[in-house]
Amino acid sequence: MKCGATIDEFNTVRKHLSRIKGGKLVQNMNCEGCVLVMSDVVSNDLSVISSGCTYNDSTTFSDAINVIKNIPWRKNYPKK
């Protein structure tokens, strides 16, 4: 990525900014079921495909904050 973050780091941040990613899509549904997942991700890791909309997230909000704090491009923006 141009800013210096990896795709995994971007996904960590995305999951914590989204209301559906990181398993939040199905988190509050009171049902049992199955999910059909079509993937172009080589590893087929369910936590990565579509940012894991139907899969529990193993990252924390602190992980997302650390990614943002450590991205070099952040220096180019004013604090407020």
The pLDDT of residue 80 is 63
**For range 49-78, the mean pLDDT:** 80
Of 29, 12, 19, which Cα lies nearest the Cα of 53?
19
Residue 33 within any structural domain of the chain: yes
Which tens digits make up the pLDDT trace of 5-32?
A: 888 888 889 899 998 888 888 887 877 7
Supply the pTM of this predicted model. Answer: 0.68
The C-alpha angle 48, 57, 4, rounded to 5 degrees, equals: 55
Residue 46 within any structural domain of the chain: yes
pLDDT at residue 79 greater than cutoff 70: no
**For range 41-55, the mean pLDDT:** 77
**For range 34-39, the mean pLDDT:** 75
Asked whether 47 and 76 are in contact (CB, 8 A), the reply is no
Residue 64 within any structural domain of the chain: yes
Asked whether 71 and 5 are in contact (CB, 8 A), the reply is yes
How many structural domains does the chain have?
Answer: 1
- Domain residue limits at 38: 7-72
